[in-house]
Amino acid sequence: MEEFTLNGNQRGIPARGCGRQDRQLNTYDYMADIPGNETMTDLVEVQFKNTRKDYYVNSNHLPLQKGDVVAVEASPGHDIGVVTLTGSLVQLQMKKIRTKADTGTRRVYRLARDYDMQKFQEAKAREHQTMIRSRQIAKSLGLAMKIGDVEFQGDGGKAIFYYIADQRVDFRQLIKVFAEEFRVRIEMKQIGARQEAGRIGGIGPCGRELCCATWMKNFVTVSTGVARQQDVSLNPQKLAGQCAKLKCCLNYEVSVYAEAAAKLPPRDHVLETAAATYYLQKTDILAGLLTYSTDKRLMENLVTISTDRAAEVMAMNREGQKPDALIEGAASGSKPQSVDLATQDSLTRFDKRKKKKKKNRSLPGAGGGAEKRSGSERKNVSS
């Protein structure tokens, strides 16, 4: 682990910046061990159920640390959340999501008491049954929407219904039925398929937790052109994530592939040698390797060269010159011979071989040796 010096002392990664990994969108506070970091600003980041976060002012100057459960201002009443970030990094997080510190920032009331936690647990216990019942009501009203989750406020006076809909939904009647059924203030919030996957969570095909459930808060559009640029097979089953949309990780390395692809020659450009004409068949973008064939449509007499060698041959062809061979230093004067791929291996190599079992006709006690008997001896034995 690399160390850095601060005020003449050797310092490493502060343990105070680490939080419990049981919450989504967990943020590591790498400035938690810096002296005076907590007093740089009164703003704190508070996380609620799943991926919902908000920013509040610690106007009472409470000694808040990461992981503290606090009661914060809500409209109406109060809500219960967990402090996930304090100090100067809060302002950077707000700048990242384009939230201003002086517009609509609410206050932190106090550290959560036993009474607050009791009310919070009672409200939380109602969420699952409320979600099931709300789905039944929406279906009975014939609304084309899916209610994915329900979140009760910490004091139990308000409920947020997260729903998914392909088209605009008129849920005025739905809100009236919900208010009569659940006796709380109703708020409807529409989310997309990616946000729903982030709220539910899960394990991706890479073996890690979903990015939308661990650190991603803002989602960027992913197109099939990104997959083509990386030479990824356009298989919907492999490209789609758990949200049934294209995987967000396709955007991670597209800039690296675009930079490497800019150094590759055009795909329709041919290379002329003294022996034959070569056509580009496939490319390894990151490794910078090009595979050429002597046939435009078939993989025949394949030769793999680097981009630098391809550029060198292209420069020679523009000057009217042809190298002896595509690979530098290869023997010249021999023309490439076509190879029949079907003759490389036997067509019956996968057939099962029938093995004949050898019968042991030796008599017991004969020492394992098979002796031939005459006709008269066989008769005596049979009789």
Task: Please check the confidence at residue 2 and state whether its pLDDT lies above 70.
Answer: no
Q: Single out the residue in 58, 90, 112 at which a domain terminates.
A: 112
> What does pLDDT average to over the chain?
80
DSSP bridge pairs for 78: 73
- Among candidate residues 194, 192, 166, the one with its CA nearest the CA of residue 251: 194
What span, in angstroms and rounded, lies between the C-alpha atoms of 316 and 369? 78
The confidence score (pLDDT) of residue 84 equals: 87
Based on the fold, state whether residues 41 and 58 are members of the same structural domain.
yes
Q: What is the mean pLDDT of residues 269-298?
A: 87
The confidence score (pLDDT) of residue 9 equals: 54
CB proximity list for 309: less than 8 A, separation 6 or greater: 326, 327, 328
The confidence score (pLDDT) of residue 359 equals: 55
What span, in angstroms and rounded, lies between the C-alpha atoms of 251 and 239? 12
Q: What is the mean pLDDT of residues 290-306?
A: 86
Q: pLDDT tens digit string along 34-79?
A: 777 777 888 898 988 877 888 999 988 888 888 889 999 988 889 9
Helix axes 127-140, 114-125, angle to 10 degrees: 40
Based on the fold, state whether residues 43 and 99 are members of the same structural domain.
yes
Please report whether residue 210 resides in a domain. Answer: no
Please report whether residue 332 resides in a domain. Answer: no
Share of the chain above pLDDT 90, in %: 21
The confidence score (pLDDT) of residue 113 equals: 92
What span, in angstroms and rounded, lies between the C-alpha atoms of 226 and 256? 12
The confidence score (pLDDT) of residue 375 equals: 47
Q: Single out the residue in 59, 90, 112 at which a domain terminates.
A: 112
Task: Tell me the two tokens of residue 79.
Answer: 């809500």
**Region for residue 25 given its phi and psi (left: phi exceeds 0; alpha: psi -120 to 50; beta: otherwise):** left
Please report whether residue 377 resides in a domain. Answer: no
Based on the fold, state whether residues 306 and 226 are members of the same structural domain.
no
Task: Please check the confidence at residue 206 and state whether its pLDDT lies above 60.
Answer: yes
Based on the fold, state whether residues 89 and 172 are members of the same structural domain.
no
Task: Please check the confidence at residue 160 and state whether its pLDDT lies above 70.
Answer: yes
Number of separate domains in the chain: 4
Based on the fold, state whether residues 108 and 8 are members of the same structural domain.
yes
Based on the fold, state whether residues 87 and 154 are members of the same structural domain.
no
Please report whether residue 374 resides in a domain. Answer: no
Long-range (24+ apart) CB contacts under 8 A made by 347-355 are: none
Q: What is the mean pLDDT of residues 115-139?
A: 92
Please report whether residue 279 resides in a domain. Answer: yes
Write the CATH number for 153.
Answer: 3.30.300.20
Please report whether residue 149 resides in a domain. Answer: yes
Based on the fold, state whether residues 95 and 160 are members of the same structural domain.
no
Please report whether residue 324 resides in a domain. Answer: no
Share of the chain above pLDDT 70, in %: 77
The confidence score (pLDDT) of residue 119 equals: 92
String of DSSP letters for 367-382? TT------HHHHHHHH
Based on the fold, state whether residues 290 and 238 are members of the same structural domain.
no
By residue range, what is the domain housing residue 77?
Answer: 4-112
Based on the fold, state whether residues 127 and 81 are members of the same structural domain.
no
Q: pLDDT tens digit string along 3-46?
A: 445 555 555 555 666 666 556 667 777 777 777 777 788 889 89
Based on the fold, state whether residues 14 and 98 are members of the same structural domain.
yes
DSSP bridge pairs for 293: 279
Q: Single out the residue in 112, 137, 162 at which a domain terminates.
A: 112
Range in 79-93, 101-115, 286-300 with the lowest mean pLDDT: 101-115
Please report whether residue 355 resides in a domain. Answer: no
Task: Please check the confidence at residue 292 and state whether its pLDDT lies above 60.
Answer: yes
Based on the fold, state whether residues 240 and 183 are members of the same structural domain.
no
Based on the fold, state whether residues 45 and 95 are members of the same structural domain.
yes
Contact 205, 237 (CB under 8 A): no
Range in 157-166, 205-214, 321-330 with the lowest mean pLDDT: 321-330
